[in-house]
Amino acid sequence: MTWAAAHGSLILRPERAPIGADERRMLDAVLADPDDDAPRLVYADWLMARPEPELAARGELIVVQCALETMQDPAEHNRLKARDFELVERFGNRWAAQTGIGVVRNNFYRSPCGVELRRGFIEAATALTDDFAGFASRLFTREPVRELTLIGESAHIARVPTSLFVARLRALAIREAHGSVAHLAALASSPHVAGLERLDLSASYRALRDEPIAALARAGSMPRLRELVLAKGHIGPAGAHALAAAPLTTNLTRLVLDGNPIDDDGALAFVDSPHLAQLRELSLVDVMLGQDVRARLARRFGGGVRFD
C-alpha cells in the first residue's frame, strides 16, 4: 500500500489515452471481482505492453504490489518495495489526477485529498465533499474503490446516498459536514449502503446531535455494519439511548463516541442494551462519566471499554 497525496488548489488532469473496448473489458473484470489478483495481472500484462510510459508503469505497479502481498523473502521484499515507491513517486499523482482527485497546488485546504494504491489500483480515496459529483463517475468506473472519505460542508452531501457507486464501498467517512436530519436519514435508509462495514461521521456537528442520530438509528439499513464512529459531536443522553435501542447496532464490534456529552444517563443505556452482544470496543474518551457508571460499563464490556 502506498499513499499518493494531493497538495494545493489547482487540480491538474493529465491527458490519458482513451479507454477502448478491450481495456474496458479488462477493467470491468477487475471491478467485478476486486479481491481476485488474476484479473489485475491480466490487465497488468496488457498495460506493460503499451508504449506510453505511465501505462507501462501502472502495469508494473500492479505486478509489484500484488507480489508484495505474499512475498516472504526479506531481500526481495525490500527490492520490490523500493520499486513500488519509485513508481508511485514518479506517476502516482498523475494517476490520482486522472480520476479527478489528483495533483493540486498551493492551497493547504486541499492537502488531505489523496488516494491509497493497493495491488496497483486505487482502493481508498479522500476528497472534498464539494467535489464528489465531479469525480465519482471518473473514479469508480476506473478503480475498485472500497473506502471513501469525504471532508467538508457541501450541498453535494445530498447526492451521496443516491449514488450507485456507494454500493461498492465497504467503508464510508463523511467528516466535518453539517448535513441535516434528512440527509442523515437518507444515508442510513439508502439501499446503496447495505454493504457498508464501517461508517464514520466524526466532527459532523449538526449531524451528530440527538435528533439526527435518532433518525440514523430508526432508518438504519446496514446489516453488515461493524464499526460506527461518531466522535467529536453533540450527542447527548437521548441520542445515546436511541443508539443503544437500535437494531443498527446489533452487529457492531466497535462504537466510538469520543467527545460527546452523553453523560451518565446515556452511558447506562449501553450497559442495558440487548443489541451490543458483538461489541468488542466502546470508546468513550473525553466523555464525562461518574466512577460508578465506569465500573458498570467495565463489567459489561470488560477491557473493550476505553475512557482515555
Q: What is the pLDDT of residues 203-231, one digit of tens each?
A: 876 678 888 888 888 776 788 999 999 99
pLDDT tier, 112 (very low <50, low <70, confident <90, very high otherwise) = low
Q: Is 91 part of any domain?
A: yes
Tell me: do 58 and 200 sit in the same domain: no
Kindly state whether residue 267 falls inside one of the protein's structural domains. yes
Do 299 and 215 sit in the same domain of this protein?
A: yes
- Cβ neighbors of 83 (< 8 A, separation 6 or more) are 60, 64
Average pLDDT of the chain? 87
User: pLDDT digits over 22-38, tens only?
Assistant: 999 999 999 999 999 99
pLDDT at 12 (0 to 100): 52
pLDDT for the residue numbered 111: 52
Predicted local confidence at residue 301, as pLDDT: 94
| Domain contains 6 | no
The structural domain count of the chain equals 2
Q: What is the pLDDT of residues 2-58, one digit of tens each?
A: 555 544 444 455 667 789 999 999 999 999 999 999 999 999 999 999 999 999 999
211 and 299, same structural domain?
A: yes
The verdict on 162 and 52 lying in the same domain is no
Distance CA 220, CA 289 (A): 28
Q: Is residue 136 part of a domain?
A: no
Q: Which three cell numbers stand for residue 252?
A: 457492531
Give residue 23's pLDDT. Answer: 96
User: What span, in angstroms and rounded, lies between the C-alpha atoms of 127 and 137?
Assistant: 14
101 or 41, greater pLDDT? 41
Buried b / exposed e over 132-151, threshold 16 CB at 10 Å, is beebbeebbebbbbbbbbbb
For residues 44 and 232, what is the distance between their CA atoms, to the nearest angstrom? 43
Residues 159 and 301 in one domain: yes
21, part of any domain: yes
Statement to judge: residues 165 and 273 lie in one domain: yes
Least confident stretch, 79-88, 159-168, 235-244? 159-168
pLDDT of res. 297: 97
Q: pLDDT value at position 288?
A: 94
Mean pLDDT for 120-147 is 91
Give the end of a domain, one of 76, 96, 116.
Answer: 96
Residues 154, 58: one domain?
no
**Phi/psi of residue 104, each to 5°?**
-140, 160
Mark whether 85 and 197 lie in a shared domain. Answer: no
Residue 276: give the domain boundaries.
146-306
Q: Are residues 192 and 82 in the same domain?
A: no
**What pLDDT does residue 280 have?**
96
Q: Give the rounded percent of residues in the chain with a pLDDT score beyond 70.
A: 87
Tell me: do 281 and 193 sit in the same domain. yes
Residue 117 lies in a domain: no
- Within a domain: 130: no
Domain at 234, CATH number: 3.80.10.10
Residue 108 predicted with pLDDT over 50:
no
Closest C-alpha to 133, from 149, 154, 104: 154
pTM (two decimals) = 0.88
pLDDT at 109: 39
Q: What is the pLDDT of residues 237-294, one digit of tens each?
A: 999 999 999 888 889 999 999 999 999 999 999 999 999 999 999 999 999 999 999 9
Half-sphere exposure of 278 (CA within 13 A, CB side): 15
In a domain? residue 123: no
User: Which residues partner with 305 through β-bridges?
Assistant: 282
Give the count of beta carbons closer than 10 Å to the beta carbon of residue 214: 21
How far is residue 29's CA from residue 25's CA, in Å, rounded to a whole number? 6
Neighbours of 168 (CB within 10 A): 17
155 and 276 share a domain?
yes
> Which residues have a Cβ under 8 Å from the Cβ of 201 and sit 6 or more positions away?
173, 174, 175, 177, 184, 207, 208, 229, 230, 233
Which pLDDT score is estimated for 104?
36
Considering the domain architecture, whether residues 192 and 301 belong to the same structural domain is answered as yes
Euclidean distance between the first and final Cα of the chain, in Å? 30
